[in-house]
């Protein structure tokens, strides 16, 4: 679509409002996705910080033996991260978001290149 609107020699050939509207919609959609993935990443980081908080900030030395054993169980579990998962995407995190963006960019580049090659063959 960008190639249809912008020509390096003559500038914009299409309606600038349509281009700006589509670009704005793209930015808003990416911002929405980023917010979801950012909060999911925060859940992962906070779940991994539980063991540090239990060990460093609680006065666990003064607890009874039964409570210490319960804390050990919580510490064991807290070493595994708690992550939100989407059905087709998998674990939601910032790294997953960047992988999705890279994949979308690669697919877009592939189709734009294929479209350019198709146009050159017709000439």
Domain parsing of the chain, residue ranges: 2-122
What local confidence, expressed as pLDDT, does residue 56 receive?
87
pTM value is 0.68
Q: Is 109 helix (H, G, I), strand (E, B) or coil?
A: helix
First and final C-alpha spacing in the chain:
21
What local confidence, expressed as pLDDT, does residue 89 receive?
82
Residue pLDDT tens, the chain, 123 long = 555 556 666 655 566 777 788 888 989 999 999 999 999 999 999 988 888 888 888 888 899 999 999 999 988 888 888 888 888 888 899 999 999 999 999 998 998 888 776 666 544
Q: Select from 94, 100, 102, 87 the least CA-distant residue to 37.
A: 94
Q: How far apart are CA 71 and CA 59, in angstroms?
A: 11
Token couple for 24: 């704005």
What local confidence, expressed as pLDDT, does residue 83 receive?
86
């Amino acid at each position: 679509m960008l190639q249809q609107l912008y020509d390096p020699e003559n500038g914009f050939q299409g309606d600038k409002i349509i281009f700006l509207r589509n670009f704005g919609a793209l930015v808003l959609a990416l911002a929405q996705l980023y917010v979801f993935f950012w909060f999911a990443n925060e859940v992962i980081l906070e779940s991994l910080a539980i063991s540090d908080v239990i060990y460093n900030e609680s006065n666990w030395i003064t607890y009874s033996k039964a409570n210490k054993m319960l804390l050990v169980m919580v510490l064991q579990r807290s070493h595994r991260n708690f992550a939100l998962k989407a059905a087709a995407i998998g674990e939601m995190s910032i790294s997953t978001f960047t992988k999705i963006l890279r994949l979308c960019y690669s697919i877009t580049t592939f189709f734009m290149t294929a479209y350019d090659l198709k146009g050159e063959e017709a000439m």
